[in-house]
Every structure is written in structure tokens, then in C-alpha cells.
Amino acid sequence: MSLENSRGRPFEESLSALMDNEADELEMRRLLKSAPQDEDLVQTWRRYNLVRSVLQHEEVLPVSSAATSRLLDAIAAEEAYVPDSEKTQKS
């Protein structure tokens, strides 16, 4: 089953866009929020990163799923960064 994000594209495409630095902020937030609850999304993220590392001849080291889960939980718990210029505009 392929879930879709707010732009109507599958999360797999959003992950690919994120890795290519083409995802917008909203898309990135939704991916990070969804990842801790979606094991398929996490596994896709791992595969994409593995492929990228192999293609770039990087050393590939295993990472425990527990460490990945803790990292995703920590990211999800973080407040979004809002630049001072945007804080001023909202006031």
C-alpha cells in the first residue's frame, strides 16, 4: 500500500525528493512525522540511503533499528525551527 502526502504524490517519491534536496518544508515535516509510525516508510528510507551510499562508494555500516527509532522519535519531538524574520512577520 502506498500512502500519499499532501501534494498527492506517494511517500516514496517524497523520500526521493528529500534525498535530492527537492522536498519542500511541509513535505519534509510530514515525512518525519509519519516515519515513526510507518515501518514501510522507514525501510524505504534505509534502502534509498543504502543505494545512495553504494553508488557514491561510501563505506556502508549497519545501524540498529533501535537507534534509528530513537533518532526518529527525537526528531518528531523537536519543535520546528522558525527564523527570526518569520517570527517578526507574524507579530
User: Packing angle between helix 25-34 and helix 11-19, nearest 10 degrees?
Assistant: 120
Of 1-5, 26-30, 60-64, highest mean pLDDT: 26-30
Q: Mean pLDDT across the chain, nearest whole number? A: 79
pLDDT of residue 6: 45
Is the CB of residue 29 less than 8 Å from the CB of residue 23? no
Prediction pTM value: 0.54
Question: For position 38, what pLDDT does the model report?
Answer: 85
Residue 90: its pLDDT value, please?
Answer: 61
pLDDT greater than 60 at residue 66? yes
Residue reference for cell 527570526: 84
pLDDT in tens, 7-51: 456 888 888 888 888 988 888 888 888 887 888 888 888 888 888
For residues 10 and 23, is the Cβ–Cβ distance under 8 A?
A: no
